[in-house]
A and B are shown apart, each in its own frame.
Chain A
Amino acid sequence: MSTSSTGSWLLAALLLLPLVGAAVVVALRGNDSTAKAAALAFSIAEFALAIVAWVQFEPGGARLQQAFSFDWIPAFGVHVSFAVDGIALAMIAVIGLLVPLVIGAGWLDKLPEGRTKGGFFALILLEQALTVGVFAATDVFLFYVLFEIMLIPMYFLIGSYGGARRQYAAVKFFLYSFLGGLIMLASVIGCYVLAVEQNGTGTFEWAELVKVVSTAPLETQIWLFLGFFAAFAIKAPLVPVHTWLPDATAEAPIGVAVLLVGILDKVGTFGFLRYLLPMFPLASKELAPLVLVLAVAGVIYGSMLATGQRDMKRFLAYVSIAHFGFIALGIFAFSSQAMVGSVTYMVNHSLATGMLILVVGMVIARGGSSRVADYGGMAKLTPVLAAMLLIAGLSSMSLPGTNSFVSEFLVLIGSFPNAPVYTIIATVGMVLAALYVLWLYQRVMQGPVRGDALVGAAGGPGTMVDPAVGAKKAIADLSGREKLVLAPLVVLIIGLGFFPKPVLDVVTPAVDATMCQAALADPVQSGERQLQCR
């Protein structure tokens, strides 16, 4: 296994720091303000560590870097081993960026009675540690363990701090993911049994299992593939196992929705790349049409439902479902260009949709309603907020000049040679994206000031209407804190739109390695980029 030991302390620190942070924040939960400050400090420190890890990473070096490993259950060849490749590193960096922003965005949120800020932020930090672990795990058993455990803090984040139907949403979220995980467990054990049969001793080390399983006969691979795929398809989520996401997103607090869509769901597409393609190359090729159909169905179905949504939070969930369709398309089109596009899509989707969710959250925080019909003409009252919604929206519809354009373009152009029909259908999704984003913006922000959320129901309680603008006094533009939260995202969305090289450089070697492991060749060797397998 090619690993380098330099900087292995870094990964250990990245894993432990949020855990320590969670413990400290829990200890301080009696006092809201100190707990909040501690949570923010820990999350910023974690982000700084993630940047150090990014800088230390050598894109041209070994596939897995910053590794560390020790035995856990020797009887089953289970190790606690972590390492990052470019894809995992990019996701860890995104986690590091989003968590402080989420904490900043939730700074003044009102929590349900009896809940403390400390408990809320501690769960977020715990979730952060577990998701970093999921992306960095290089032992399949360990990956499974973290994959299941990370449900528990999220379950409590939705169930304890969410909206009116939070119990239903939390249980639905948990059961879907848990069922997927259990099906994956059958495959995980199956891979282990294969290793025992082939080598005499079993192992869960990812690199070893890839060697064993990728040479198994097609039929075996298909069964094992389906087990992993069930878990990742639910997590991503692909149509038709997506139904938990709109409920979970609609009921989760805004910050939690960002983590859910921006980070947790990426574990699914990450799993496609890290586990499905390298471990089951034959089955991946055999079943690619199945995945492509689901992916394209997700693009179209997600886009259409997003267009028709009356609730802004459910709208966000369907937008994400459409985007996950694009990501899956790029991965299973089997060209390095499309795959690089998908990986950068994972990063850009976290930034763009993360920002969109935060901005929608700010709109909802002002109006107190998530129904689109309750708003109208808000741009007159809150011009900066309107601009932010427009930027996030334009990035979500992949306008050239924004980060998402680069990745969506790469996915489509890379997928075309291998999967022309699917690509053409998916392109329709781009048109629909313009429709749902611009229509939402038009209904909420443009026209005369109207809607119950802004003007207030006549005679109802709490309707302090300011006669000068004809709207509730509480509707104010972005505060300094909110601008501070959104600023890094705006910079990255536009910056990566014009200069995506830093991300491309880090992820490309990992994508090439994945292509080689899956014994895939590029359909057209285009330009300077040549896929070279070592």
Chain B
Amino acid sequence: MSVMSSVLLLAQEQAPAAPVRAEAPPVTAIWPILIVLGAACLSVLFEALLPKDLRWSFQVALTLLTIAAAGVKLITYVSDAPAAGETAMFGTLAVDRPALFLWGTLLALSLGAVLLIADRSVEPGGSFVATAAIRPGTVQDRAQVASTGMQTEVFPLTLFALGGMMTFCAANDLLTMFVALEVLSLPLYLMCGLARRRRLLSQEAAVKYFLLGAFASAFFLYGVALLYGYAGSVRLADIAEAAAGSDRSDTLLFAGMGLLVVGLLFKAAVGPFHTWTPDVYQGAPTPVTAFMAACTKVAAFGGILRVLQVALESTQWEWRGVLWGVAIVSMVIGAVLGLTQTDVKRMIAYSSVAHAGFLLIGSIAVTDKGLSSTLFYLLTYGFTTIATFGVISLVRDSSGEATHLSQWAGLAKRSPLLAGVFTFLLLALAGIPLTSGFVGKFVVFEAALSDGMGPLVVVALVASAVAAFFYLRVIVLMYFSEPAADGPTVTVPGAFTTAAITLGVIITLLLGIAPAFALDWASSGVFAIR
């Protein structure tokens, strides 16, 4: 398939109302994507046509309904989907069991993130800037902070990003994957710059993310080009076939593979390609950070799993050693640099780098178990992270969120419930039994050990122990330290944030105590190679 036609097809796919041709493929499988992207377009029209004071309520209703509708479509499809999966949109999308699991995970996680984004009780007017195009620190900026308006464009941006993520982890060829990567990234770059307070930090985060993201996209695209040169096709299955038995130059293959994987690792915030993570996590509005941390991770690892298991499986002995090293570097960077952080959002960012290392361990075990365990880990990590950022958004002082760790001292005395919930979430991130974090680690390490990666598992366990120290430090601060005199206050969250945190905490507990159903779902099938 030529490059041109692939792009055209993608354009068609983004317009759900496109005329159905006679030989059109079945669309039942991809209804969830169509609904999300269609609603995103509708949402743009809302922005353009609705009066300002109606936009927020319409946008929230539309976004929540979209996610619910896509979820319902997904569930009805899953019940009678072919076990081996099928392709859609002329073979550009592979709707197989892992893709369906990832879609379900993304929809569920984005529901939590949208609830956080929609909240206007914690910060009057919401966490988003009223007018993005004013200079920070000016009189207008101060007026903007006090106003209750917000840029409701964040909702269509969220939906576009979500649609991009869903396409990304179902993409059956590298070009679709690249377009999906851009569809998911561009809205995120914008969303990072929309914080109501600390505008400079937020804009800096957006620019950093954009510049480094553009680099990563270039790497990815260059890799695609080289692989096309090698295999004569961008389809994953064709690349797999070419790599399995051909006497073509390996240079193209390995160079293309390396560049491609670097692009993917960047999106997944795996060390040493993590450098954007702490700055962006800290600067972005906290609900957007939650969305990025949970959903982007899921999508990026969905893509990594598909590329490694479908296209590059036969060459695993070439790349495995390198990714071993990358996983170790990521875990060490996350655990060690996490120790030195004084800002709670940056700390969670480094924690996510360490978690990316654990996820990579599951991904490079190219077995069915490796796949299902990584999928399960993504599900558990996403929910815990959303709830974690939800809680972080509640601790505030007069200048906004109080994210400096010293401000969290003695929080348990003022707000035992919040401290209890946060402690539970931190223990889940540390991987203590009876939380989903433990079961996730357990299944990933089990898959890795079965695949003969004993030393890597030992490194991972030591990294977990080191990382446990910085989670513990927060617990120590909250419970065993005296509160500061002018410490922050804990905002009583409104319905949306409460719902998001409750959702995250319940799933974290549920998957820790009774993980059987989710494990079964995660291991219900493998990637379709066609």
Whether A186 lies near B476 (C-beta < 8 A) is no
Which residues of chain A are within 8 angstroms of B464 by Cβ–Cβ distance? Answer: 182
Q: Which one of A9-17, A30-38, A189-197, A359-367 is at the B interface?
A: A189-197
Q: Which one of A169-177, A393-401, A409-417 is at the B interface?
A: A169-177
Which residues of chain B are within 8 angstroms of A458 by Cβ–Cβ distance? Answer: none
**How many angstroms from the CA of A45 to the CA of B191 in the assembled complex?**
59
Which residues of chain B are within 8 angstroms of A223 by Cβ–Cβ distance? Answer: 454
Which residues of chain B are within 8 angstroms of A182 by Cβ–Cβ distance? Answer: 461-462, 464-465
**How many angstroms from the CA of A170 to the CA of B476 in the assembled complex?**
9
Interface assignment of B427: CB less than 8 Å from any CB of chain A: yes
Which residues of chain B are within 8 angstroms of A160 by Cβ–Cβ distance? Answer: 479-480
Which residues of chain B are within 8 angstroms of A146 by Cβ–Cβ distance? Answer: 433
Which residues of chain A are within 8 angstroms of B516 by Cβ–Cβ distance? Answer: 73-75
Whether A149 lies near B442 (C-beta < 8 A) is no
Interface residues on A, range: 20 to 34
Q: Report A178-221 CB contacts with B as 1/0, cut-off 8 Å.
A: 11001101100110110010000000000000000000000000
Q: A185-B442, A186-B457, A190-B449 are in contact. Are A145 and B434 (CB under 8 A)?
A: yes
Whether A183 lies near B427 (C-beta < 8 A) is no
Interface assignment of B469: CB less than 8 Å from any CB of chain A: yes
Whether A75 lies near B523 (C-beta < 8 A) is yes
Which residues of chain B are within 8 angstroms of A76 by Cβ–Cβ distance? Answer: 443, 446
**How many angstroms from the CA of A66 to the CA of B264 in the assembled complex?**
54
Interface assignment of A156: CB less than 8 Å from any CB of chain B: yes
**How many angstroms from the CA of A171 to the CA of B457 in the assembled complex?**
24
Whether A189 lies near B465 (C-beta < 8 A) is no
Whether A167 lies near B480 (C-beta < 8 A) is yes
**How many angstroms from the CA of A76 to the CA of B514 in the assembled complex?**
12
CB nearest neighbor in B for A146: B433
CB nearest neighbor in B for A114: B413
Whether A189 lies near B433 (C-beta < 8 A) is no
Q: How far is the CB of B452 from chain A (nearest CB, A)?
A: 10
Q: A114-B413, A170-B476 are in contact. Are A175 and B468 (CB under 8 A)?
A: yes
Q: How far is the CB of A287 from chain B (nearest CB, A)?
A: 18
Which residues of chain B are within 8 angstroms of A192 by Cβ–Cβ distance? Answer: 446
Whether B445 lies near A159 (C-beta < 8 A) is no
Interface assignment of B458: CB less than 8 Å from any CB of chain A: yes
Which of these, A159, A174, A196, contacts B479 with CB under 8 Å?
A159
Whether B442 lies near A167 (C-beta < 8 A) is no
Within 8 A of A (CB), among B430-476: 430, 432-434, 438-439, 442-443, 445-446, 449-450, 454, 457-458, 461-462, 464-465, 468-469, 472-473, 476
Q: A159-B479, A193-B449 are in contact. Are A171 and B413 (CB under 8 A)?
A: no
Whether B432 lies near A152 (C-beta < 8 A) is yes
Whether A175 lies near B465 (C-beta < 8 A) is yes
CB nearest neighbor in A for B472: A171
Whether A148 lies near B433 (C-beta < 8 A) is yes
Q: How far is the CB of A18 from chain B (nearest CB, A)?
A: 17
Interface assignment of B515: CB less than 8 Å from any CB of chain A: yes
Which of these, A144, A159, A185, A196, contacts B450 with CB under 8 Å?
A196
Whether B468 lies near A178 (C-beta < 8 A) is yes
Interface assignment of B250: CB less than 8 Å from any CB of chain A: no
CB nearest neighbor in A for B476: A167
**How many angstroms from the CA of A74 to the CA of B515 in the assembled complex?**
10
CB nearest neighbor in B for A175: B469
Interface assignment of A63: CB less than 8 Å from any CB of chain B: no
Q: A148-B433, A152-B432, A193-B449 are in contact. Are A75 and B520 (CB under 8 A)?
A: yes
- The interface centre, meaning the residue of B427, B433, B479 with most chain A CB atoms within 10 A of its CB, is B433
Whether A149 lies near B433 (C-beta < 8 A) is yes
Which of these, B433, B438, B445, contacts A186 with CB under 8 Å?
B445
Interface assignment of B69: CB less than 8 Å from any CB of chain A: no
Q: Report B148-189 CB contacts with A as 1/0, cut-off 8 Å.
A: 000000000000000000000000000000000000000000
Interface assignment of A313: CB less than 8 Å from any CB of chain B: no
CB nearest neighbor in B for A161: B480
Q: A170-B476, A170-B480, A171-B469 are in contact. Are A183 and B461 (CB under 8 A)?
A: yes
**How many angstroms from the CA of A145 to the CA of B454 in the assembled complex?**
21
Q: A73-B519, A167-B480, A175-B468 are in contact. Are A148 and B432 (CB under 8 A)?
A: yes
Q: How far is the CB of B420 from chain A (nearest CB, A)?
A: 11
Whether B481 lies near A167 (C-beta < 8 A) is yes
Whether A186 lies near B465 (C-beta < 8 A) is no
CB nearest neighbor in B for A179: B465
CB nearest neighbor in B for A190: B449
Interface assignment of A349: CB less than 8 Å from any CB of chain B: no
Whether A149 lies near B523 (C-beta < 8 A) is no
17 pairs, A vs B, C-beta closer than 8 Å = A75-B516, A75-B523, A145-B433, A148-B433, A149-B434, A160-B480, A166-B480, A167-B481, A170-B480, A171-B473, A171-B476, A174-B468, A182-B461, A185-B461, A186-B458, A193-B446, A193-B449
Q: Which 10 A-B pairs have the closest CB atoms?
A: A145-B433, A179-B465, A182-B461, A159-B480, A167-B480, A75-B519, A148-B433, A189-B446, A193-B450, A193-B449
